[in-house]
Amino acid sequence: MSVVADCSLLLAAYDKGATQHERAVAWLTRTDEELVLTPLAVAELEVAVRDGGGARAQAKVWHDLEVGAYTTRWWADALAESLRIARAHPALGLTNASLVALAERLRTTRIATFNPDFRTVKTTSGDELVLLPDDA
């Protein structure tokens, strides 16, 4: 089964000084599920890690991507679907909206995140999102 991964959780895992670092690492260590991101989220993650931790931290993200720690998915209508969701939920922003679109595409409600903004969104079928690790 797949879990959509948001940058807030992954950034906390990479940043040893982050308030949620230990929680993020513990959850990532326990899960054996495929973590899936959009290219928008990968770009956001890579830049944020580089800006916060420098070239060595950036290289760790690149390594994790190369070895398959995360899967990236994008599809023909991804941008249109992401924009539709972003317009309906402007506080999410386009990157997070792309993750909601990805969750719908994967037919999951599960998003690994520390971002409470995802609580304001429901799937097109009306289901609330399950935010991990909080809702586990």
What CATH number did the domain enclosing 22 receive?
Answer: 3.40.50.1010
Q: What is this structure's pTM?
A: 0.96
Q: What are the tens digits of pLDDT across the range 38-80? A: 999 999 999 999 999 999 999 999 999 999 999 999 999 999 9
Answer yes or no: is 77 a known binding residue: no
Is the preceding omega at residue 90 within 30 degrees of 0, hence cis?
no
**What is the DSSP pairing of strand 71-72 with strand 2-5?**
unpaired
Number of domains in the chain: 1
* Segments forming the whole domain that contains residue 68: 2-132
List the beta bridge partners of residue 111: 4, 131
Q: What is the pLDDT of residue 68?
A: 97
- Tell the burial category of 13 from Cβ atoms under 10 Å away from its Cβ (0-12, 13-18, 19+): buried
